[in-house]
């Protein structure tokens, strides 16, 4: 009997003109956003190929290695079609002498929509539009039947009230879940066709988790809609409630978070981390200034630009400059070599201190978000970024990896170096004597793979070569396995599921005492 009720509910939704229009609108939007995002991704891929090519040419034509700026170039993430995330910076220039990590902003166009910080991606479509659509479908599911009177007639049949409310919830949920799942899987299949060579098992893991998360999102909003429909006798009134609730969740809370709460966020841990950062930068600056060579021709030389630590915008404090000189290339080079050899740990420590500020801030924001501003929209947004692998923390990992690559080279005594195709080549001091890149390439007829085989061979057979082996590292994109994904999203999922259960209990309790007349 329950199946018949459920079938009837879904059929009833299918036959409603309002629902029909809503679904058509969602499908149109989904298709548009997907096409825009695929084109955008293609732009990023083209840009990436261009960046690598420019790097390649620069490396090929270089005569003096001290001019080389190694770059860590982040590969575009295919799943960014679904969630753009915090991938604003994707190229990192690693400047040795200045001990600076600079980043280049993404060149592909950002598709902004409504809010300055919001991008047109599938996540936005789900959080902004799908949530509204679900509420528009479900706002009158109980009081609508009450108004027409069918609720009364149903209650004269041997149906438990629980069955009725369960069929209402499942009807909306299954219907919307299907409406989302259909184009979603079609989009995945399209990607399988377009980018067959780029797809990895990780992509499918992300795709599955993203779908799973969206299903929870749909469940939450279906319940919310049904809850609102039990809050008022008139469907018109509950429509107003639904729109107001949606505005609070989707517009007011996120905007007040971005522009009011987050900027004024302050606690002891952030304060302490910021203090540490200032201590290190001041220490580094003073030490360097006292150590300026006598022939210094003073001008402002940027020492560290840490604004690159993704995400924190609008604060210019994280920049350190000092009076140095660069009258001639030799002077500049000598000075910077001097800094590098003597102050690298100090400069590195201030970089690290800044990253700590950033990390503490992310943790604090997440905690505040979860505990005080519980909002399924924000949780969904954050979780989907974690699933896509382009959250703020992921960007921090990217920065760290690049810096660690530089650390390795510095520890090995490299004074020059570059990063190419995610691998560092380095021109080391004489005792390692790997030769310059060109010498290496010339030795292997320009075949980079053979160069690397040679390097790997040295690494693996250190004893045979009787030398201290430099540790080469390759930058790798962080890829998420199932085992890594689950702990990533577990904590927030618990909150999500908890809120769904809580809402369900409230609806259950409300409807048991609901006046059906």
Question: Where do contacts with another protein occur on this chain (CB under 8 A)?
Answer: 1, 4-5, 8, 11-12, 15-16, 148-160, 515-517
Looking only at the bridges linking them, the beta strands covering 89-95 and 71-73 are: antiparallel
Residue 30: name the closest of 114, 136, 124, 109 by CA: 124
CB of 6 to another protein, least distance (A): 11
We find the least distance from the C-beta atom of residue 4 to another protein, in angstroms, to be: 5
Cβ-Cβ contacts under 8 Å for 211 (sequence gap 6 or more): 181, 184, 185
φ and ψ of 413, to 5 deg: 90, 15
Measured from the CB atom, is 121 or 145 closer to another protein?
Answer: 145
> In this complex, which beta carbon is closest to another protein, that of residue 154 or of residue 434?
154
* Structure-derived torsion over alpha carbons of residues 222, 225, 231, 236, reported in degrees to the nearest 10: -150
Please say whether the beta carbons of 340 and 460 come within 8 A: no
| Whole-number Å distance between alpha carbons of 516 and 233 | 10
When the beta carbons of 144 and 435 are compared against another protein, the nearer one is 144
Minimum CB–partner distance for residue 239 and another protein (Å): 18
Residue 222 in contact with residue 176, Cβ under 8 Å? Answer: yes
User: Which of 154/495 has CB closer to another protein?
Assistant: 154
Quick one: which H or E segment has residue 509? helix 482-512
> Shortest approach of another protein to residue 237 CB, angstroms?
20
- Dihedral in degrees, nearest 10, Cα atoms 28, 29, 34, 35: 60
Q: 285-310 burial string, b = 16+ CB within 10 Å, else e? A: beebeeebeeebeeeebebbbbbbbb
Least separation in angstroms between CB 171 and another protein: 13
> For residues 156 and 314, which CB has a smaller minimum distance to another protein in the complex?
156
205, 481 contact by CB (below 8 A): yes
Beta bridge partners of 423: 420, 474
Which lies closer to another protein via its Cβ, residue 19 or residue 346?
19
Nearest CA among 47, 73, 80 for reference residue 59: 73
Cα dist. 307→278, 312, 314 in Å? 14, 7, 9
Contacts of 11 (CB under 8 A, 6+ apart): none
Residue 21 Cβ vs another protein, minimum distance, rounded to whole Å: 14
Question: Residue 424's closest CA among 154, 101, 71, 131?
Answer: 71
Q: Give whichever of 316 and 513 is closer to another protein, judged by the CB atom.
A: 513
| Distance of closest approach, residue 27 Cβ to another protein, in angstroms | 21
CB of 3: closest distance to another protein in angstroms?
A: 10
Q: Which CB sits closer to another protein, 8 or 110?
A: 8
Q: How far apart are the first and last CA of the chain?
A: 23
Closest to another protein by CB, 67 vs 152, is 152
CB of 152 to another protein, least distance (A): 6
CB of 492 to another protein, least distance (A): 39
The nearer residue to another protein, 6 or 450, going by C-beta atoms, is 6
């Amino acid at each position: 009997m329950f199946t018949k009720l459920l079938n009837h509910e879904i059929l009833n939704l299918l036959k409603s003109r309002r629902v029909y229009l809503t679904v058509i609108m969602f499908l149109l939007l989904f298709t548009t956003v997907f096409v825009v995002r695929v084109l955008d991704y293609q732009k990023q891929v083209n840009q990436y190929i261009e960046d690598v090519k420019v790097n390649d040419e620069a490396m090929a034509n270089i005569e003096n290695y001290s001019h080389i700026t190694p770059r860590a170039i982040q590969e575009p993430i295919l799943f960014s079609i679904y969630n753009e995330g915090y991938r604003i910076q994707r190229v990192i220039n690693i400047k040795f002498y200045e001990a600076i990590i600079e980043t280049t902003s993404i060149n592909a166009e950002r598709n902004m929509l409504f809010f300055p910080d919001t991008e047109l991606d599938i996540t936005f479509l789900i959080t902004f539009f799908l949530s509204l659509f679900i509420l528009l479908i479900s706002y009158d599911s109980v009081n609508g039947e009450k108004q027409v009177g069918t609720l009364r007639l149903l209650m004269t049949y041997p149906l438990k009230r629980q069955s009725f409310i369960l069929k209402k919830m499942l009807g909306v949920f299954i219907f919307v879940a299907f409406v989302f799942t259909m184009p979603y899987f079609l989009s995945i299949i399209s990607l399988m066709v377009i980018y067959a060579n780029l797809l990895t098992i990780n992509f499918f893991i992300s795709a599955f988790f993203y779908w799973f998360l969206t299903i929870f999102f749909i469940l939450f909003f279906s319940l919310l809609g049904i809850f609102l429909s039990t809050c008022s006798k008139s469907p018109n009134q509950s429509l107003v409630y639904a729109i107001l609730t949606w505005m609070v969740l989707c517009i007011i809370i996120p905007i007040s978070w971005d522009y009011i709460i987050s900027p004024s966020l302050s606690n002891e841990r952030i304060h302490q981390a910021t203090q540490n950062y200032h201590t290190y930068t001041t220490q580094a600056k003073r030490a360097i200034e006292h150590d300026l060579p006598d022939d210094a021709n003073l001008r402002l030389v940027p020492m560290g630009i840490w604004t690159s630590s993704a995400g924190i915008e609008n604060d210019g404090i994280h920049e350190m400059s000092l009076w140095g000189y660069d009258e001639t290339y030799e002077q500049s080079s000598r000075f910077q070599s001097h800094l590098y050899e003597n102050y690298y740990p100090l400069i590195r420590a201030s970089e690290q201190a800044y990253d700590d500020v950033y990390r503490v801030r992310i943790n604090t924001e997440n905690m505040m978000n979860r505990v005080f501003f519980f909002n399924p929209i924000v949780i969904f947004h954050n979780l989907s970024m974690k699933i896509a692998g382009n959250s703020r923390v992921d960007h921090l990992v990217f920065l760290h990896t690049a810096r660690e690559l530089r650390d390795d080279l510095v520890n090995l005594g490299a004074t020059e170096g570059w990063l190419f195709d995610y691998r560092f080549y380095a021109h080391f001091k004489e005792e390692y004597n790997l030769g310059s890149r060109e010498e290496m390439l010339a030795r292997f007829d320009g075949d980079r793979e053979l160069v690397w085989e040679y390097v790997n061979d040295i690494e693996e057979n250190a004893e045979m070569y009787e030398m201290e082996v430099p540790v080469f590292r390759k930058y790798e994109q962080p890829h998420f396995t199932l085992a890594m994904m689950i702990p990533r999203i577990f904590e927030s999922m618990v909150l999500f599921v908890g809120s769904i259960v809580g809402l369900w209990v409230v609806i259950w309790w409300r409807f048991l005492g609901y006046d059906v007349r």
